[in-house]
Amino acid sequence: MIIVLRKNADRGQVEHLKDWLKQQSVEIEAIKGSHSTVLGLVGDTSHVDIEMLEALDIVESVKRIQEPYKKANRKFHPNDTIVDVSGVKVGKGSFTLIAGPCSVESEEQICSIAQSVKASGAKILRGGAFKPRTSPYAFQGLRANGLELLSEAKAKTGMPIVTEIMDLSQLPLFENVDLIQVGARNMQNFELLKALGKINKPILLKRGLSATIQELLMSAEYIMAGGNENVILCERGIRTFETATRNTLDLSAIPVLKEKTHLPVIIDPSHATGIAAMVKPMSLAAVAAGADGLIIEVHNDPPHALCDGQQSITPQMFDELSKQVGTLYDTVKEMY
Ligand code: PEP
Ligand code: MN
């Protein structure tokens, strides 16, 4: 971090600032020019509050050189992290398919979809029980009952399950959940992230609708700072001016994240596009761009789905997609 001090900055205040910075365990290299003085901070500056520095009278500007995230940063952890989801390894060396309905609707629905997607190669079953819906009048999910039905599907198929938590108060119900999803709308629910940092379960963190990649990484850092380093990142489309698709899938987030972090990166082409026919092309594109997996909405009767039917593919479509993704992954995996 570089701090440019104002011309004629009060010496006493400058010394005070230096003492304060030393207390934060950073070393200071001062460069005195004829017009102004620059302080170069060396060491871990992730704890240094940049906005506080900028507010000081003696400071003209502050520039961060090092990223404000440490645990998620590849610089400090060059090897790829492989997250173990109850025996399913997510990360470099394998390609993980997560599939299932947007929402758990009934025992029959979740169990039959689970069996189909498992037979087609999915390794983790998805299904929403607590649903973040834009309208309070829309189906809100089967809540605790939905979690029980997911557990039944897990018992029948042996597949680990992933489902979304919307509030800290729901955590006691998530005992049998293998991978806890933090949805796009909660990516910056910092109290939730802090609490999930203290538990011993992997977290699937989805990128917020209007969140930058750095903000996504800072949210991962919240979880990791608490001690839980098992975080999988998910790009699920961001808000842009484009209306032809539900969101705009930011595929470049894959190589950017791969460079900046060691955490696994998966893609959600269902919420990214909002259109069932677009799921396959964007899935293939995600494989080609180096993703570690996909999370896909699959429904046995999309026109009658209680949530997100328009973007849900059928088990037959998933079966075909799974084969094509597998073929493409075998071709590109040595390239990354
Ligand atoms: C979901 O996966 O069901 C979901 C609601 O996703 P997102 O948070 O990405 O909108
Ligand atoms: Mn959905």
Kindly state the average pLDDT of the residues 195-222. Answer: 98
Domain spanning 83-335, CATH class: alpha beta
Find out whether the beta carbon of 102 lies less than 6 Å from any atom of ligand 1: yes
Q: CATH 3.20.20.70 occupies which residues in the chain?
A: 83-335
Give the integer Cα–Cα distance in Å for 179 and 163: 7
Indicate if the pLDDT at residue 24 is higher than 90.
Answer: no
Residue keyed to tokens 């394998």: 94
- Nearest-ligand number for the alpha carbon of 216: 1
Domain 2-63: give its CATH architecture. 2-Layer Sandwich (3.30)
Q: Does the Cβ of 236 fall within 6 Å of ligand 1?
A: yes
pLDDT at 46 over 90: no
Task: Enter the pTM of the model.
Answer: 0.93
CA dihedral 316, 265, 207, 191 (to 10 degrees): 120
Ligand 1 close to Cβ of residue 307 (< 6 A) = no
Confidence of residue 305 (pLDDT cuts 50, 70, 90): very high
Ligand nearest to the CA of 183: 1
Percent of the chain with pLDDT over 90: 92
Confidence of residue 25 (pLDDT cuts 50, 70, 90): confident
Q: Catalogue the E-assigned strands of 173-292.
A: 179-182, 203-206, 231-235, 265-267
Mean pLDDT across the stretch 100-112? 98
Q: Which pLDDT does position 33 carry in this prediction?
A: 85
> Which part of the chain is CATH 3.30.70.1140?
2-63
CA distances from 98 to 46, 104, 227 (A): 34, 15, 25
How far is the C-alpha of 284 from the C-alpha of 63, rounded, in Å? 39
**β partners of residue 297:** 100
Pocket probe for ligand 1: among 206, 235, 307, the residue whose CB has the most ligand atoms within 8 Å is: 206
CB of 72 within 8 A of CB of 214? Answer: no
Distance 330 CA to ligand 1 centre (A): 28
Residues pairing with 162 in the sheet: 126, 179
| Interval 37-66 mean pLDDT | 91
Q: What distance in angstroms lies between residue 172's CA and the mean position of ligand 1's atoms?
A: 21
- The maximal CA–CA distance of the chain, rounded, in angstroms, is 77
128 lines ligand 1 (CB under 6 A): yes
Q: Could you tell me the distance, in angstroms and rounded to a whole number, from the CA of residue 42 to the centre of ligand 1?
A: 40
